[in-house]
Structure 1
Amino acid sequence: MHGPASPGWLLVALCAATGAYCLLRMRSTIEEQRHAAGGEALMGFGMAAMAVPAAVFTPPSWAWPAYAVVFGAAALRALWAARADAHHLHHLVGTSAMVYMAVVMAASPGHHQGHGGAGLPAVTGALLLYFAGYVLLSGVRLLPAGAGTVAGGWGDRPELARACRLSMGIGMVAMLLTL
């Protein structure tokens, strides 16, 4: 993505740590946790890979279309899962945003020189509004969760899952701002 290297590395670390925790959540005894955690791990690691500062690593030309295909498949899976559970609509928006960013990066000739406004302003703006709202709502939802009891192991703690989703929302806002 565009932007200075230091914030980029912080975003990489945040997203990679979130993806790692989501992998841990995949070992949960709660089936709902396991199913959600796989898609969230993919998002976390995918966001980390896309956020590596361009000054450090310039991906090959095939990487952006590959991201679009992977996240397009994840979007189709989220669309299918949304038939039974509305929570998957958020996953659909997230994976679609990743497809959008990958397509913009692939279509931008010189996208590693740090220019702004490469995406369609209306789509980028709508995604920014959605994820900013999601971050604010997730932050509010997280506040009362700290007063509860710890349920099970690390993979079964709902307040940590909400914190990871909040982190990925913040990361998505940061990535869209640099687009």
Structure 2
Amino acid sequence: MHGPVSSGWLLVALCAATGAYCLLRMRSRVVEQRRAAGGEALMGFGMAVMAVPAAVFTPPGWVWTALAVVFGGAGLHALWAARTGAGHLHHLIGAGTMVYMAVAMAAPAGHGHGHGHGGSGTPLLTGTLLLYFVAYVLVTGVRLVPVATVPGVAEGAGWGDRPELARACRLSMGIAMVAMLLAV
């Protein structure tokens, strides 16, 4: 990502910590939480890789292609899972956004995205994704405040079964996605 190095490293730390917590959530006793946590861990670690400041390390071009392929596969998985419920639609949008950002990061300087927009302003897709993720952050933030007990989760639940922590994890990734889209 392009921008100040210190904020880039903070974004890397936030995304990596979120990905690590999502790995812990994969130990949950609730099957749906484990499935969601796996996709969110992938998203967190992928965002951490993308957020490494370009001034510090510029990865080879194949990294962006690899990320686009991995998140394209995650998007297909989310699309397949979405047929059973709308809960996977956000994962589909997130994976698609990651593919979009990987392609934008791979674009050579001066080609409209990735390394500056030139005089053309924000592309329509970037603006639409920004609006989606800003709305997602606001809604998730409001939902974070009062957390009801999840049926089937014991009172002394472990780290993987804490719905308020899962929501905070999603909120932090949404905020990171907004920051990354602003930098694209």
Q: Residue 156 of structure 1 is aligned with which of 153, 161, 178?
A: 161
Unaligned runs of 5+ in 1: none
TM-score (norm 2): 0.90
Partner of residue 135, structure 2: 133
Q: CA RMSD in A?
A: 2.1
- 1:77 maps to what in 2? 77
1:25 maps to: 25
Residue 115 of structure 1: CA displacement? 4.2
Mapping of 1:84-123 within 5 angstroms?
84-109=84-109, 115-117=115-117, 121-123=123-125
Determine whether 1:173 maps to 2:178: yes
Deviation at 1:105, TM superposition (A): 1.1
Q: In the alignment, does 2:17 pair up with 1:12?
A: no
Q: In the alignment, residue 129 of structure 1 is paired with which amino acid?
A: L
Residues 110 and 117, structure 2, Cα contact 8 Å, conserved in 1 = no
Q: Tell me what 2:48 maps to.
A: 48
Aligned-partner Cα distance in 1 for 2:148–2:20: 22
Q: Aligned equivalents of 2:148 and 2:3: distance in 1?
A: 34
Distance 1:151 1:48 in 2: 31
Identity of aligned residues (%): 74
How many residue pairs get aligned? The number is: 177
Confirm or deny: 8 A CA contact 1:16 1:44 kept in the other structure.
Answer: yes
Tell me the alpha carbon deviations over residues 114-144 of structure 1, each in whole angstroms, 9 at most, x when there is no partner: 9433796100000000000000000000011
Q: In structure 1, what is the Cα distance between the partners aligned to 2:33 and 2:156?
A: 13
Q: Which runs of 5+ in 2 are unaligned?
A: none
Q: Supply the AA of the counterpart residue of 1:15.
A: C
Q: 1:33 to 1:104 in 2, by over 3 A?
A: same
SS of the equivalent of 1:80 reads helix
Q: Please give the TM-score of this superposition, normalised by the length of structure 1.
A: 0.92
**Within 1, Cα distance between the matches of 2:110 and 2:13?**
25
